[in-house]
Amino acid sequence: MTTNFTIVYVTEDQPAGNCLYGFNVRMWESISSFRNAIRSTCGELETGSISIENLELSPLAFQINVVFDVKFSGEGTETSRDICMHMIEIISNGNQNYLKPFSVISCNASHSTVTKKQTTWSAAFEYNCTEMLGSQPLASSGGVRCVPCFPGNYLNSTRCEPCLQGTYQAVPGQLICDVCPSRKHVTEDRTECLKYEYSTYNVDLEAVYRTNDAVAATCLSQFQAFTSAHRDYFQTNISTSCSELHDGNVTIENITIGSIAFQVNNGSDFNTKCHRAVDGKFHNILIDYNIDREIHELFTNYYSNADYQRSVEDTDG
């Protein structure tokens, strides 16, 4: 956290603009003595480390305003730091020699006596956690302190935010989240990237074929023999179609053939092993499309003179 206070120095004998260069040189030469004086003043308080980060000088008539940027870091309480800055302000206003290591300053070709007029603390702190990467300021009963971003989060500029979808972070205090590769999934709290768990579900698919030239019952045995003979082909085709979605496979558990008038009902029970996170309905659609297309091609080749129409219905089992 940082804050600042301003000391107004008066050049008794010369306009301040004439003394600005000499003032600037002497102030930066004395910065370590300023820091040591502040540390000595606040040494009994729980302030953490104290440093002077910058000095800004600006002349006005016969006075020079010097802004001291003070930084507190490490372990410390906001209350102690607040007391520290109040003490500096009070002591500096009561002691002419405090934070004034020189009484005469060079002003071009001449010199001027220097007195101290006023010290004012801004009474405000700015909180940043640049020394503690991957952390953000967090208010608590003891004041504001830097806290690392929790796992599942990353530091976006100055505050912690949840990892974006498809990314995760297992370690606290990080600036980025890691991308979870394909075939894995991110946990809900976005702290882990895990392999999918596998589950088994069944899909029932029925293809209805119409025989235009003969009663379906007379073709039943050929339908049964053909379908059974190509079981492995159907099975491989479905597994290949679904391979982009999961690492599992498809097994045809059972095939039943029935007939009604001029239509043959060809039903297949598919036992599908797939990722738990993949919607079964989407698999059904692919199975529906590919089975329908491939069976049509196979049956067309097998029954070169057959003229039939087909419809497909699938359900979750």
293 membership: H or E segment, kind and range: helix 280-302
* pLDDT score of 280 more than 70: no
Mean pLDDT of 191-200: 78
3-state helix, strand, coil in the chain (%, to 5): 30, 40, 30
Q: How far apart are CA 123 and CA 4, in angstroms?
A: 8
Q: How many CB atoms lie within 10 A of CB 214?
A: 10
Q: How far apart are CA 109 and CA 128, in angstroms?
A: 44
285: Cβ contacts below 8 Å, ≥ 6 apart: 314
Q: Which segment of 169-183, 187-201, 203-217, 281-295 scores lowest on mean pLDDT?
A: 281-295
Mean pLDDT of 101-123: 89
Q: What is the structure's pLDDT at 114? A: 92
**pLDDT band at residue 63 under the 50/70/90 scheme:** very high
Q: How far apart are CA 250 and CA 124, in angstroms?
A: 67
**pLDDT band at residue 101 under the 50/70/90 scheme:** confident
Pick from 21-35, 190-204, 246-260 the range whose average pLDDT is largest.
21-35
Instruction: Report percent pLDDT > 70 for the chain.
Output: 64
Q: How far apart are CA 283 and CA 208, in angstroms?
A: 20
* pLDDT score of 154 more than 60: yes
pTM over 0.75: no
Q: How far apart are CA 145 and CA 25, in angstroms?
A: 35
182: Cβ contacts below 8 Å, ≥ 6 apart: none
- 3-state DSSP assignment of residue 23: helix
Per-residue b/e over 50-62, b at no fewer than 16 CB within 10 Å? Answer: beeeebebebeeb
pLDDT in tens, 207-253: 666 766 667 677 777 777 777 777 787 777 777 766 655 555 667 77
CB 260 within 8 A of CB 216: yes
Which CA distances in Å does 235 have to 34, 41, 82, 171, 290? 83, 83, 75, 44, 11
282: Cβ contacts below 8 Å, ≥ 6 apart: 245
Mean pLDDT of 132-143: 62
Q: What is the structure's pLDDT at 164? A: 92
223: Cβ contacts below 8 Å, ≥ 6 apart: 209, 257, 264, 266
Q: How far apart are CA 220 and CA 216, in angstroms?
A: 6
**pLDDT band at residue 8 under the 50/70/90 scheme:** very high
Instruction: Report percent pLDDT > 90 for the chain.
Output: 31
Hey, what domains does the chain have and what are their CATH numbers? Answer: 2-121 (3.30.70), 148-195 (2.10.50.10), 198-316 (3.30.70.640)
